[in-house]
Copies of this chain bind each other. A is one copy, B any other.
Amino acid sequence: MTSRLAWPAFEEPMPPPSDPSSPQRRDPLSRPRVVRAAITYIDAHGLGQLTMRRLAATLGVEAMSLYKHVSGRDHLLDAMVDALLADLHGHDDVQPEAAFDWRDYLRRVAHGVRAIAQQHPQIFPLVATRPPAAPWIQPPLRSLEWIESFLRTLRSHGFGDRQAVDAYKAFNSFLLGHLLLEVANQQVPINPEDRADPPDEEARFEAAAVALDGYPTVAGLARLLAEDTASLEFASALESLLVRLSGLVDGQTISGSEGTGG
C-alpha cells in the first residue's frame, strides 16, 4: 500500500465566521459558501468544467447571483487559492509555537502544503500559476499572513533579514517544483462518474509502453521512471534544502548581492 500522507480534513464543516453583520438567514448565499462550492466542484469535476452557470446550479441559484459575492470568474479562482492557504494557515500543526526548531517548522509547513496539493490536485496548479498580487508574494505561500508568520518565525530562530528572505524564496521554489511535479504525475483525465476506478496501473503502463520504439534508454528505464517515489523524493529534497539553509544561517548567502550597498 502506498503510504498516503495523513492530515486532518480541511473539508470538514467549519464554524461560521463570527461576523455579526452576516444576517444568517436560511442558507444565505455568501462569499465563503460560493468559494467553498467552487473548490468542491473542481475537486469533483476538474478545473475545465467549472463555469459560473454550473457552479450556480450547484448552489441552486442562477449564474448572475454569484456576481453579488465574487466579482467574476478570475476573482473566484483567486479566492479559492486564498481560501486553501488560509485553511492551512489556521491549522495547529503549522503554528510557530508548535515547532521544536526552525527545521521542524519548515518540515511542518512543507507537509501541510503537500497535503493541500494532494487533496486538491486539480486546484494546486492555480496556486502555482495565478499571478501574485504584489511583488513580495510568491507561490505557493502566497498570502501576507503566511509570509508574515514564516519570516517572523525564521527570524525568531536566528535568521537575519537577508537569510530569512533567501529561505522564503528557496523554500517556495522547492515546494512549487516538487508538488507541481507530483500533481502533474497523477493528472489522469477525469471521467466524472468512475472516480473510484483506480486506473489499473499495469494496463496504463502497457498501453503507453508500445510507443517506446526508438527510445531504448527510456524503454529500459520505463519501470523506474513510472515508479511513484514522490514521497521519498520530497522528504529527501526537503532534508537537502534544510542542510542548504543551515549553511545560510551560518552567514552564507544565496542571492548574495553584497556590494551594491557600498
Give A contacts to B, CB under 8 Å: 125, 128-136, 138-139, 144-145, 147-148, 151-152, 155, 161-162, 164-166, 168-170, 172-178, 180-181, 184-185, 187-189, 204-205, 208, 211-212, 214-218, 220-222, 224-227, 229, 232-233, 236-237, 240, 244, 254-257
Given B125, B134, B211, B257, which contacts A229 in the complex, CB threshold below 8 Å? Answer: B257
Within the complex, what minimum Cβ distance (angstroms) separates A52 from chain B? 16
A208 partner residues in chain B, CB cutoff 8 A: 133-136
**Given that A173-B177, A173-B237 are contacting pairs, would A131 and B227 also be in contact in the complex, using a CB cutoff of 8 Å?**
no
Given B164, B187, B204, B229, which contacts A255 in the complex, CB threshold below 8 Å? Answer: B229
Given B136, B144, B224, which contacts A226 in the complex, CB threshold below 8 Å? Answer: B136
Cα A237 to Cα B227 in complex, Å, equals: 26
Cα A183 to Cα B212 in complex, Å, equals: 33
List 23 A-B pairs, Cβ < 8 Å.
A125-B125, A129-B180, A131-B187, A134-B211, A135-B204, A138-B185, A144-B218, A145-B215, A147-B218, A162-B224, A165-B221, A169-B181, A169-B229, A170-B237, A173-B174, A173-B178, A176-B176, A176-B180, A177-B180, A180-B180, A229-B257, A233-B254, A236-B255
- Which residue of A170, A187, A189, A205 has the most chain B CB atoms within 10 A of its CB atom? A170
A173:B131 contact, CB within 8 angstroms: no
B256:A225 contact, CB within 8 angstroms: no
Cα A188 to Cα B134 in complex, Å, equals: 10
A240 partner residues in chain B, CB cutoff 8 A: 240, 244
Cα A233 to Cα B168 in complex, Å, equals: 12
A132 partner residues in chain B, CB cutoff 8 A: 184-185, 187
A128:B184 contact, CB within 8 angstroms: yes
Cα A35 to Cα B257 in complex, Å, equals: 41
Given B128, B144, B221, B244, which contacts A180 in the complex, CB threshold below 8 Å? Answer: B128
Q: In the complex, what residue of chain B is closest to A240 when comparing beta carbons?
A: B244
